[in-house]
Amino acid sequence: MKLPAVNISNFSLKNKIIVIIVGFLIFISLIIFLIVIPTVNDILEIGKEIENQRIDLEAKYIKGQNLRQLTENLEKINSQLSKLEQIFISNNRELEFITTLEGVASKNSISQKINLGNQEDIANYDYKKTAIQLIAQSNFTNIINYLLDLESLEYYLNIKNIELTLASSKQGADVAPGAIINMFISAETFWK
């Protein structure tokens, strides 16, 4: 079956204008549905992808900033790590520690006795704790200076208890009664 041919020249001017407008509208509609709408959908999809990439880049930038900050903090910590390592007494340097304590006592004219306890393991740490007792005797000023020097040692000496008592003066000594002080220190040291 053959469709009849439409001859536009037989139409009136009004009908020609209507046919041209309807044909133009159909042509525009085809362009909109076949070209414009798919293109707009592609543009919207690309816009979503760009937004997702922007969010991803922001997250990576923030991670990079955090990583940079962590790196700077790590460098600061590493520079302080050697100081932290110094507070531990090395297991093979006990004599150095004892000599240091004796030097502090000698500097402050202190009569000193040192008692080191046994090393105890500390759970979840790679260092050990050792109890230490320091028994010292001298005048009040020397005792205070001795304590200040102990505090300024590079070793970590965790003092648990200090007892101060007046010593009775010995017969025939030049020292006035009550001028000599006995000091007992119970402390902990940390060994690596």
- Of 145 and 93, the one with more pLDDT: 145
- Of 125 and 116, the one with more pLDDT: 116
CA distance 113 to 127: 25
- In this prediction, what percent of the chain has a pLDDT beyond 70? 85
In the prediction, which pLDDT does 152 show?
87
- H-assigned helices in the chain: 13-31, 37-86, 94-107, 140-151
CA distances from 59 to 55, 70, 160 (A): 6, 16, 50
In the prediction, which pLDDT does 175 show?
46
Q: What is the pLDDT of residues 64-81, one digit of tens each?
A: 888 889 888 888 887 777
| pLDDT level of residue 116 (50, 70, 90 thresholds) | confident
